[in-house]
Chains A and B, each alone.
Chain A
C-alpha cells in the first residue's frame, strides 16, 4: 500500500509518496492552470519512481492528501465566482468601508503603510450593486428587533440571480448570536435557486465583528463554486485511474478535511500551502524528541516562519488574503519578502537587501538569464556556500564570476570594501532580517527562542539557517528528511490529521458558572464527535482539546488559554492563575490589573481525528554506510569572518552523515553548510541535525 501527499504551489506541484516498506519517492511537476493535469503528471513521476504505473499506484493508495493554492490565487487575483451578498438593512457598505483605515493597511508591510500617497484599499469583494439589503435586525443579545422580511429576500435574490451570480454570501448583524434569519434565507434560496452556492456568516465564521465575519463569508462564497468544480474534476480523474481512497484536502487550520467539509468551507484552504511544512515539522519533531520548534521555509522570494510549541502549532484567529481580513482559526505562518532572489543595493552609505526580488526571471546574476542586480543567492555563491557545478544537482550551472563582478561594482565599490566582505554583508543582513522575524514571532509572544529547535527547509532554507540560528542563540538545526527538504510541504500535508474547530461566542464575567461553561464545551464536543464518527474516527483516534479566550474586563484583545478538562471539576479553579501567568509571560510581570476582573469571550474546541502515520524511512539501513569527503573548496564563513578550506560531502541514497564543521553537505536540491564549531549527523529518518558545540 502507498500514501501520497501533494502540495500544489503556484509554480510547482510537489509530490511525496511512501510505501508500506518505507520506500519513499518525491517528484516536482509543473503546476497547470487547471491544477489537475499537474497532479496527474506528478503521479506519473511518483509511479515511475516505484517502477509501476499510475493506475497500479493509485489502486494501492490508502491515503491521498493534497493542498492547493487555487483558493489563495483566486482571492489574490480576484478571480472568484460572480458573487452576490445579502445583508442587514443599513449595512451595505461594510465590505466597502473595510473598517476604515484597516482596509488600507491589513496585510501591508510597514514600509508601504508609510507611503501616504500610494495607500489604497483593495478592490472590494463585491460591487455595491451586488450587495443587497433586506429588512431584518437582531440585537446584541440575539433578540429579534425586526423580523426577517422574506419578500425582500426573494426579490433581491431573484434579481441577483438574474444578474448572473453563482454564489451568495448571507451576512446579517449578530447572526452568530441568533442564526435563525440566516438559516431561513438558506432554506428559501435552496428551494428557489438550488444551484446557488450559499455561505452563511453564522456558519462560516461565528464570531463578533461584522467586517471580518462578512469578509470571511464573502470569500468563502466566492471560492466555493470553482473549488467544487475543481475538486470534482480531480476526484473523477483519480477515480478513473483507480483511486479508491477519498482525497482529503489540506486546510490552513493544520488538518486535512473530508470532501463535504472542504466544499462547505473552502475559505479554510486559503493560505494552506505553507501550513503543510509546519505540520510536517510538528510530526517529525515529536519523533525527534523536540517539544518546541521554529519552522523556517526559505524559497526564492519569501521566508515563512511557523511555530510548534509543546507539540502543537501556534494558531491565530484572523488572517489576511489578497489584503482582505478574515476570521479563521489557522496555523500562524508569517512571511517576509526575503529569499534567494532578494536584491541587494546601496542607498547612501547603507547596504539593504530586498524586499525587491529578481524572482525566477530574470533571477540572480549567477543564473545567467539576464539578471544584472546582485541577490542573496549571488552572495551565497561568492561566499562558497553553493557549488556552481552542483546547483539543483548540477541541472543549472552558476556563473560565479558574474555574481562576483556584480557585487564588486554595485555593492563593494560604493561602500569601499572587498567583494567578499560585501557578499558576507548581504548574507548577514538577509539572515538578520530572518532572525528579526523569528524573534518577533517568539519573544513578542513571550517565548525564548533558545527553547526551540530550528527546522529549516525549502530550497534556500538550509543555506542561511546556521547564520540566523546563531543570531537567535539557537543550538540545534534540523534539516527535516534531508534530501526531501525541497518538497517538504508535501510530506507535511501527508502527515496531517483531520482537524475541526468549533467555536461559540459566550461572553461571561467572574464569578464564572463553571457548569454552564462545561455545558457549552459538552455541546461542542457532541457535535464534534458526531462529525468525526461520520468521517470514520472513533475511540482513541479522536482527540478533543478545549480552549477559552480570556481577557481583563474592558480589554478588547483576548489571551487564548488551554483548558485542561472539566472546569467544574477543578480546571476552573486554575483558570485565573493560568490566565495571569500567560498574561505576564506575554507582557511582563505586573502588566495585568487583577482588580479589573476576568472575562470569557469565546469557547473553542479543537477536534482531531488521527489518520494513519507516515512510516519512517531509515538511512544507513541498507548498508550504504557513511558519506565520505567528496572534495573541498574555500568558503568565507561570515560569523568567523575568515576563509576556511571546507570539506564537501555528497551523500548517495541511504548514506548517513557524520561530519565536523567546517563542511558543506551537497544535496540534490539544497546545500547544507555545517559551520566551524558545529557538527552534523543523520537521524534515522534521514533528517540532518546540526549542533553547535558551544552555547551561543
Chain B
C-alpha cells in the first residue's frame, strides 16, 4: 500500500481570457454592466430570503461580490462594505491552494472563514463559487455572511474569554463544501458539529449556496446570449474605468497628509488601559497611502488581521470618495498602498485573538479611514459636500442567551444598535437613528419581532436626548432602550464595546463628539409592582424604579434577574462646525423634538429659549458673545504666540477646511481663520499651535457620562482649539493627558 499523498493536479485551474481580437461595443458594455450588477444584487436578495437569522435578513450583515476569473472584484453590493471587498484575497487564496491539491472543478464551491487567510473574523463565512466556461474559470461569485454561532469558547463567537486564537471558533481555510454540485456531507457534519445553533448554520450555508447557484444560472444565460468574451471584457473594462475614474478624482484633490487616531478602552477582561490605533492618509497625485504603522502591539481581543485592515480601509474610498463610480473594489485598490506593522492590533499575527475583530478593531479601522478621507475631502472645495463627520463609532454589543419562554435554548445578538446616528455633513445635520454608513441597507428589527422570539419586554425604545454631537450641523441622534426579562427568570448577557469611558465619535471642524456608550443595570427594581399598578416606567433611575444602579463590565458577562432593568444607549455621531454657529431656530426645533436638552442648548449652543420654546434672540446673542469672549480669555495659545491678522490682499491658495484657509502674502504662506483672517501657523505646521487651547475632562460636556464610573488607569481628556481672533472653535480632539499636541493635517499648496 502506497503512502497517501496530497493530490497535485499538474496545472492549476485555467482562467478564461478573452481572445486577442475580441471587442466590446459601448452598447453591449452598458447592457452587460447593468445585467451583471443585477445578477450580483440577486445573490443578496436570495441570502436575505433564505437565511434564518435577523443578522442577515434584517441587519444585513453580509455582502455579495462578483469577480473576474482571477478574483478581481468588479461588483460589490451596497451592504456591509468590508465583507464585499475582502473577497478578492479569499478567491486568490482558493485558486492558489485548492487549485494545487484537491482541484477546482465546475459545480464546486469553497467555504472559508480563516482570519489568517484573509477573512475578517471567524463568524464571517465566505462561500465562493467559480463559474466555468468550457473548462476555464470565467468568473467568481461569492458572499460573506455573519453567522450566529460557529463555536468557540463564548456564545456567538466573539471570544472575549480566549487567551489565544486556539480557543476561538474553528478557522477553516478554503475548503470544498460543494463538490461538482453536491454538498459534501462529511464536511458539513464537521462544520455543524462546532455550532451551538446548527440549524441556523445549516440554513445560512444553504442561503449562500443558493445565492451562488442563482447567480450562476443567470451568468449562464448571459454567456449563451452574448458569449464569454463579452463578460470577460465587461469585467476588464469595468476595472479599468473605475481605476481611471478614481485616479482622475484624486487629481482634483490637493496633495497632503491627514492623520487620525482611535483609542480603545480595554483590551481584555481585567485590563484598565487605553490602547491606540493611528492612521496617516497620504495623497500624492493620483495615488493614496494608508499608513497605520505606530499602532499599538497586538493584545487581548482588539486585534484584526491584515485582510480585515485592507477591507475596512476601503469603505470610505468606495462610499464617500467613489460613490458614483462602479463599486469595483479591486480597481480602487490599485490606487492604494497600505503600510502596516505585523504584530500590531491592526495587522495581527498568530496566535493573537481575532474572533472579535469586527467589533472593536474593524470599527477602529473604518473610523480611521472615514475621518482621514473626510479631512482630505475638506481640503477640496469641489468635494467638501461629501464630508460626513464620524458616524456611529462603535457597536454596543448585547449578546443574549439562555432558556427561552418555551424552555428551549436561544441566543442572539440584539441588533437595535444598527439604528446609530449618522454624522453631521458639512452642510446639513446628520441622520437621526439613520444607521451606519458602511452598512447602508441595514435595518433595525421591529421590537415586536424581538419580543416574539426572545424572552424580553421593552419598556421603551427611543431616540436618546443629547446623543448627537453638537455642532453648526448636529450629528444624528442614537437610540436607547430598556429591557426586562419576560416569562423567564433570567437573561445572560455578553457585552463588548469600546468608546464607553470617552466618546469615539469625534466631530469635524470644531464640532463636538456625540455621547459615549452606556450600559446600565438597575438591580432589584420594582418594575413588576409598577406594571401591576398600571405604570410602564420610562426612566430606569432608582428614583423612579427603585433598586440600585450597577455598571456592568463592557467587556464581559452579567446576568439580568427578573427584577433587574437593563438600559443601554448606543453610540451616536459627531457634529460639524462650531456649535455656537448653529442656527438658533434649529436648536429650538431640536429641543422641541426631544433631541437636545435645554441645558445643552444653553451651555453648548448658547441658545436661550423662552417658556414656550421660542428662541430668545437677545439673550442668545448675549450668551454667545459671552461664551466667545470666555474662550478668548480663558485659553492659552497652544504653542508660541498669538498671530496677527493677515491683510485682506492676501490670496487664498488652499484650505484645510472651510474654516481654515491657506493664505499667501509677500511670498509667505500661512494658515489663518477664514472668518477673521488671524494667522494661526505657517503652512506646513500645525494650525493648532496658534490656537487657544482649552483642556478639560470628557464629562465637562454635561451630556457625556462620567468616565470614572469605570476604574481605568487613564482617562482621556477633551482638547478644544479656538481662534484667538474671533473665538471660533476650530477643532476638538480627544487625547491622553500630557501627550503633545496632535498634528493632524498638512495640505500641500500647489504652485504654478
Contacts and interface: CB of A to CB of B under 8 A. Distances in A.
Interface of A: 89-94, 96-105, 110, 113-117, 119-121, 127-129, 135, 137, 139-140, 145-147, 149, 173-174, 208-212, 348-352, 415, 424-425, 428-429, 432-433, 436, 439-440, 443-444, 471, 507, 552-557, 586-588, 590-593, 595-596
Contact of B446 (A99, A121, A149): A99
B633 interface: no
7 contacts: A92-B462, A110-B41, A121-B432, A174-B451, A415-B26, A443-B218, A555-B57
A545 to B, nearest CB: 24
Interface string B305-337: 000000000000001100110010000000000
A444 B593 CA distance: 42
A424 B203 CA distance: 46
B214 interface: yes
Contacts of B420: 100
B305 to A, nearest CB: 27
Contact of A595 (B34, B35, B199, B437): B199
B532 to A, nearest CB: 9
B596 interface: no
B38 interface: yes
Contacts of A135: 534-536
Contacts of A440: 38, 42
B78 A110 contact: yes
B358 interface: no
B52 A90 contact: no
Max chain A CB contacts within 10 Å: which of B48, B434, B437, B441? Answer: B434
Interface in B15-52: 26-27, 29-31, 33-35, 37-38, 41-42, 45-46, 48-52
Given A93-B461, A556-B52, A128 B594 contact: yes
A147 B58 contact: no
A97 B461 CA distance: 10
B207 interface: yes
A18 B421 CA distance: 57
A333 to B, nearest CB: 18
Given A90-B458, A117-B425, A593-B202, A351 B51 contact: no
A93 B457 contact: no
Given A139-B451, A557-B48, A557-B57, A588 B324 contact: no
Given A114-B78, A137-B536, A555-B203, A96 B31 contact: no
Nearest to B530: A146
Contact of A114 (B324, B385, B459, B534): B324
Highest count of chain B CB atoms <10 Å: which of A97, A439, A471: A97
B322 to A, nearest CB: 9
A591 B43 CA distance: 13
B434 A100 contact: yes
A552 B444 CA distance: 22
From B48, B324, B536, residue with most partner A Cβ within 10 Å: B536
B534 A140 contact: no
B538 A90 contact: yes
Contacts of B227: none
Main secondary structure of the interface of A (DSSP, over half): mixed
Given A116-B323, A556-B449, A349 B52 contact: no
B704 interface: no
Interface in B416-444: 418-420, 422, 425, 428, 431-437, 439-444
Contacts of A139: 451, 457, 486
Nearest to A353: B30
A429 B202 CA distance: 41
A557 B58 CA distance: 10
A593 B42 contact: no
A465 B430 CA distance: 44
Given A101-B434, A121-B431, A114 B323 contact: yes
A91 B50 CA distance: 31
B11 interface: no
A428 B51 CA distance: 37
B446 A208 contact: yes
A147 B532 CA distance: 9
Nearest to B318: A114
Given A110-B78, A555-B51, A436 B441 contact: no
Contacts of A103: 434
A230 B207 CA distance: 49
Given A557-B49, A590-B183, A209 B419 contact: no
B34 A436 contact: yes
B711 interface: no
B680 interface: no
B536 A552 contact: no
A96 B463 contact: yes
Given A97-B479, A128-B594, A556-B57, A349 B26 contact: yes
A100 B462 contact: no
B461 A173 contact: no
Nearest to A97: B433
B264 interface: no
B245 interface: yes
B442 A129 contact: no
Interface in B331-388: 385-388
A100 B327 contact: no
A552 to B, nearest CB: 7
B515 interface: no
